[in-house]
Structure 1
Amino acid sequence: MKQVVQDFKDGKIKVIDAPDPVPELGFIIVRNYFSAISAGTEKTTVGTGKKSLIGKARARPDLVKKVVENIKREGLGQTLKKVRSKLDEYKLLGYSSAGEVIAIGEGVTNFSPGDVVACGGGNYATHSELIKVPVNLCVKVPEGVGLDEAAFATIGAIAMQGVR
């Protein structure tokens, strides 16, 4: 399956081949038909990825603090390995999508294959052909609502929460 990712070392956006997700306890597998691009969030994420290591540190002082704490706890060598490992990972992009349930994991009773759903969550509702999402981050799409609109459910929920 195809996924849109960011190489966090150089900030480049790539489409990669990734293994299909496998259902597990409390999760559903969804074939994405639409995934929303949130201009603000994705611009910030992509912009941070394109920065130098120093730029990334300046943008995320919370992570710098964690690195310093880790150095105190585990030493410089072990911490450097962890940091390099993180930089070698691809960052999944997207957090709001809609599609069709194609498989359910053990213990899932409120969704069935064929259900049309809106999904949310970073590292879950990504710009991927297939996604594995915990059931608490999914909702059935009401009849008459298009999947192109349903893909914005998470973004709408965030906006609504901000107004409250």
Structure 2
Amino acid sequence: MTASVIPTRQILRTVQGGVRWETQPLGELHPRHLRVRTYASAVSIGTELTMLRASPEGTALGYSASGVVEAVGTEVRGFAPGDRVAVYGAPYVHHASHLEVPITLSARVPGAVSLEAAAFGGIGAIAVHGVRQAKLSFGERALVVGLGPIGHLSALILEAAGIDTVCVEPEPRRRMRARAAGLRAVAALEEAGDGFDAALLTAHGPDSLLDATAQRVRLRGALVVVGDLPVNAARGTLFARELSVSVSRAGGPGRYDPQYEREAHDYPLAYVRWTEGRNLELAVRWMERRLNLSQFVTHTYPAADAARAYAELDRDRAAALGVLMRFGAPAPEGEP
């Protein structure tokens, strides 16, 4: 009798002073999950470099990827083996050779969108949700502070939605990429002007950044904190303008809800129009025609070179914007 082969995957975890690949068995597939062979995963630069320093040893890295469906759970509808998909959200999505992902955190990739671009779908979902929290209307003005991956995508989404957008980024290489993508980018808040309907703070910054940004927003405007930023502002500044302040949480409604994520029970569309899964789907769909990603991907590493990737990013993180880890060639659409 031939012994059955237990499927395994390679997953990237933190180790003191760096990262390591670990072999992990794959269990029985959840009835409402997909098993995905990873093509590429996106590096969330600031988040992951912080995790390398601060997270316990053995922490899995990454949360946004793309690949090809290899198997579907018994209750899955709308997905089939061979589908190209974008997937999002730890603890289901990491830098790993195979992923098991709830259908609520998965989106089919249109034929005209590359799997390289689709790997950034989860980061795009975070940007989409942050933009929604600003509650802007067509023709209004937005300020984006910070042009890392989420800030760059947020600005592209705002412009595609008809919002007049100005970006602030002190790093000249990131400003150059933004301008090449058709965005208006300046080096300092003082150059951006004022009277904005809303500001999205997508940067890691000092305690004073929120207060300084608030002074660029009009009376009764909005501040949305998307990045890992201290929420400190003088009451006088907020009071004088009667500003609303919100902290955007990840990709949207459903995040951290075990019924939505682990059990993959979607929220009714009539009551929750934009969940994290539907934000993911929109971000990937807009990559087909509305978002100019020509300047976005700056670094691509073979997954086996993960340690080198993090070392290079740590030396000069501002040189990077969209960073990918590649796991292998995609299967033709329609083939497992």
Q: State TM-score, norm by structure 2.
A: 0.35
Displacement of 1:35 in angstroms is 0.3
2:97 to 108, 124, 129: 129
1:91 aligned residue: 59
Partners in 2 of 1:108 and 1:17 — Cα distance? 27
Displacement of 1:161 in angstroms is 1.6
- The CA RMSD over aligned residues, in Å, is 1.5
Once the two structures are superposed, what CA deviation does each residue of 1:21-76 show, in whole Å capped at 9, x if it has no partner? 43112111000000000101111211213xxxxxxxxxxxxxxxxxxxxxxxxxxx
1:4 to 12, 24, 30: 12
1:46 to 42, 45, 52: 52
Report the AA paired with residue 138 of structure 1: S
The answer on whether the counterparts of 1:94 and 1:123 sit within 8 Å (CA) in structure 2 is no
Alpha-carbon distance change, 106 to 11 in structure 1, aligned in 2, over 3 angstroms: farther
Aligned pairs for 1:16-95 (under 5 A) are 16-49=22-55, 90-95=58-63
Q: Which runs of 5+ in 1 are unaligned?
A: 50-86
Alpha-carbon distance change, 120 to 152 in structure 1, aligned in 2, over 3 angstroms: same
Once the two structures are superposed, what CA deviation does each residue of 1:89-138 show, in whole Å capped at 9, x if it has no partner? 72111100000000011200111100100000012111100000010000
Partners in 1 of 2:13 and 2:39 — Cα distance? 17
Greater RCO, CA 8 A, separation 6+:
1
Q: Which runs of 5+ in 2 are unaligned?
A: 1-8, 133-336
Moved over 2 A (4+): none
Q: Which moved more, 1:152-161 or 1:15-24?
A: 15-24
SS at structure 2 position matched to 1:131: strand
2:86 aligned residue: 118
Larger Cα-atom Rg:
2
1:108 aligned residue: 76
The answer on whether the counterparts of 1:93 and 1:123 sit within 8 Å (CA) in structure 2 is no
Partners in 2 of 1:11 and 1:157 — Cα distance? 31
**Percent of paired sites with the same residue:** 40
Partners in 1 of 2:27 and 2:97 — Cα distance? 10
1:60 aligned residue: none
The answer on whether the counterparts of 1:22 and 1:132 sit within 8 Å (CA) in structure 2 is no
Partners in 1 of 2:89 and 2:62 — Cα distance? 8
Length, aligned pairs only: 124
Report the AA paired with residue 102 of structure 2: P
Displacement of 1:11 in angstroms is 5.5
The answer on whether the counterparts of 1:22 and 1:29 sit within 8 Å (CA) in structure 2 is no
1:142 to 110, 128, 132: 110
Partners in 2 of 1:159 and 1:47 — Cα distance? 25
1:15 aligned residue: 21
2:203 aligned residue: none
2:204 aligned residue: none
Once the two structures are superposed, what CA deviation does each residue of 1:1-35 show, in whole Å capped at 9, x if it has no partner? 2111113xx35311111113431121110000000
Q: State TM-score, norm by structure 1.
A: 0.71
Partners in 2 of 1:39 and 1:21 — Cα distance? 30
Partners in 1 of 2:77 and 2:128 — Cα distance? 28
Alpha-carbon distance change, 21 to 144 in structure 1, aligned in 2, over 3 angstroms: farther
Alpha-carbon distance change, 111 to 38 in structure 1, aligned in 2, over 3 angstroms: same
Report the AA paired with residue 119 of structure 2: A
The answer on whether the counterparts of 1:28 and 1:103 sit within 8 Å (CA) in structure 2 is yes
SS at structure 2 position matched to 1:18: strand
SS at structure 1 position matched to 2:43: coil
